[in-house]
Amino acid sequence: MGLALQPTFVTLTWRSAFKDEALWLRIGAHIQNEFQLDVLLHLTCHLPTEQLKRILKNARAAGIRNILALRGDPPIGADRWAPVEGGLSNAEDLIKLIREEHGDYFCVACAGYAEVHTESWNHPDLPPSNEARALDLQRLKAKQDAGADFIITQFFFDVDNMIQWIADCKDAGITIPILPGYLPIQNYSSFCKFTSWCKTRVPENVLSALDAIKNDDAAVRRYGTQLAVETCERLLAAGVNSLHFYTMNLATTVTQVLEGLQLLPARNQRELPWQSTLQRSTIEGEQVRPIFWSNRQASYIARTAAWDEFPNGRWGDRTSPAYGELSEYYLAFKRPKLQRADLWGTPTTEQDVWNVFVRFIDGHVKQLPWCEQALSLESAAIRENLQWLNSNGFLTINSQPRVNGAPSSDPSVGWGGDNGVVFQKAYVEFFVAPEKMAHLVKVMRRDYPQLSFHALNRQGDEHRNTPLHSVTAVTWGVFPGIEIVQPTVVDSDSFAAWKDEAFELWQTQWASAYAEDSRSREVIQHVHDTYFLVNIVDNDYANGEPSCASALTHRPLRVC
- Of these ranges, 189-198, 219-228, 401-410, 464-473, the one predicted with the greatest mean pLDDT is 219-228
Give residue 271's pLDDT band: very low, low, confident or very high (50, 70, 90): low
Are the C-beta atoms of 71 and 143 separated by less than 8 Å? no
Terminal Cα distance for the chain, rounded: 44
Q: Could you give phi then psi for residue 452, rounded to 5 degrees? A: -100, 135
For residue 281, pLDDT over 60 is answered with no
Question: Percentage of the chain surpassing pLDDT 70?
Answer: 80
Give residue 330's pLDDT band: very low, low, confident or very high (50, 70, 90): very low
For residue 354, pLDDT over 80 is answered with yes
Q: What is the pLDDT of residue 66?
A: 96
d(CA 208, CA 327): 56
DSSP code of residue 506? I
Q: What is the pLDDT of residue 2?
A: 52
Nearest to 526 by CA among 446, 451, 457: 457
Q: For 2-260, which CATH class?
A: alpha beta
In 35-134, DSSP assigns E strands to: 39-43, 66-69, 107-112
Q: What is the pLDDT of residue 288?
A: 59
For residue 317, pLDDT over 50 is answered with no
Q: Provide DSSP, 123-184.
A: BTTBPPPHHHHHHHHHHHHHHHHHT--EEEEPP-S-HHHHHHHHHHHHHTT--S-EE-EE--
From 51-60, 157-166, 471-480, 547-556, the region with the lowest mean pLDDT = 547-556
For residue 32, pLDDT over 80 is answered with yes
Give residue 388's pLDDT band: very low, low, confident or very high (50, 70, 90): very high
Mean pLDDT computed over every residue of the chain: 83
Are the C-beta atoms of 127 and 218 separated by less than 8 Å? no
From 42-46, 268-272, 504-508, the region with the lowest mean pLDDT = 268-272
d(CA 560, CA 525): 23
Q: What is the pLDDT of residue 280?
A: 46
Give residue 123's pLDDT band: very low, low, confident or very high (50, 70, 90): low
Question: Percentage of the chain surpassing pLDDT 90?
Answer: 51
From 358-367, 528-537, 540-549, the region with the lowest mean pLDDT = 540-549
Q: What is the pLDDT of residue 3?
A: 58
For residue 119, pLDDT over 80 is answered with no
For residue 121, pLDDT over 90 is answered with no
Q: What is the pLDDT of residue 549?
A: 59
For residue 71, pLDDT over 60 is answered with yes
The answer for residues whose C-beta is within 8 angstroms of residue 151's C-beta and 6 or more apart is: 109, 110, 111, 112, 140, 143, 144, 169, 174, 176, 177, 178, 179
Pairing of strands 395-400, 426-432: antiparallel
Distances (CA, A) of 542 to 272, 368, 488: 22, 32, 18
For residue 155, pLDDT over 70 is answered with yes
From 179-188, 331-340, 450-459, the region with the lowest mean pLDDT = 331-340
In the chain, where does the domain assigned CATH 3.20.20.220 lie? 2-260
Q: Length of the chain in residues, anyone?
A: 560
Nearest to 426 by CA among 372, 371, 381, 373: 381
Averaged pLDDT for residues 501-506: 92
d(CA 126, CA 124): 6
Averaged pLDDT for residues 183-212: 92
For residue 156, pLDDT over 60 is answered with yes
Q: What is the largest CA-CA distance in the chain?
A: 88
Q: What is the pLDDT of residue 311?
A: 45
Give residue 528's pLDDT band: very low, low, confident or very high (50, 70, 90): very high
From 58-62, 65-69, 119-123, 258-262, the region with the lowest mean pLDDT = 119-123
